[in-house]
Amino acid sequence: MPEGTRAVLDGPEINRALTRIAHEVLERTKGGQEVTLLGIPSRGVPLAQRLARRIERVEDLAVPTGSLDITMYRDDLRLAPARALGRTEIPDGGLDDRVVVLVDDVLFSGRTVRAALDALGDLGRPRAVQLAVLVDRGHRELPIRADYVGKNLPTSLRENVDVRLSETDDQDAVLLGPARSRAGSAGSADQEVDS
């Protein structure tokens, strides 16, 4: 772990947060029969899959799950280095008249979510759109609020939130440390630029 970095969530705490979010989704959507989970790449996708597994264990309900690439909808394309396009995978049956829960790892400025809403509008007309995030670190630049939050984590703009998941990083942890420069940073680039 880099100097000045500390773990704010470990694997078991992430699991408990996701279990709580799964139960909240089921309660708010009255059983989840009309729910579709869409993860925002990269770490939102495995988080959506984990939520789907938890919902299935509780309700014996297979929740349609997919991914929503927002790359071409970002408002910083001209400012940031070129990014590879991610995958958009819409479950069979589409999104029309569904309750779509967008899933992401960190909510920061709100710009990633705004881009996701724009992308979603080109793919269908959900009945409702909700947002689930593992970490809400504050510093919103747009009027966006998460419906489901694993952990509210007040941060400084001089800090970086790094979410690591076993599917992408071989460990489950949320780390808080000094901000890295954007040009040379690796890992959770979405959070540093504008989640």
pLDDT in tens, 62-100: 999 999 999 999 887 767 666 677 889 999 999 999 999
188 falls within a domain: no
| Alpha-carbon distance values, 149 to 134, 186, 187 (Å) | 6, 25, 22
Name residue, tokens 């899959």.
49
- Cβ atoms within 10 Å of 192's Cβ, excluding its own: 18
Helix residue ranges, H only, 88-165: 111-121
185 falls within a domain: no
Name residue, tokens 């773990």.
7
| pTM of the predicted protein model | 0.90
Domain ranges, residue 145: 9-158
| Residue 33's CATH number | 3.40.50.2020
85 falls within a domain: yes
Average pLDDT, the chain: 91
User: 4 falls in which pLDDT band (50, 70, 90)?
Assistant: confident
Residue type, 188: S
For the chain, what is the domain count? Answer: 1
**Cα–Cα dist 47/17, whole Å:** 11
3 falls within a domain: no
The pLDDT score that the predictor gives to residue 188 is 42
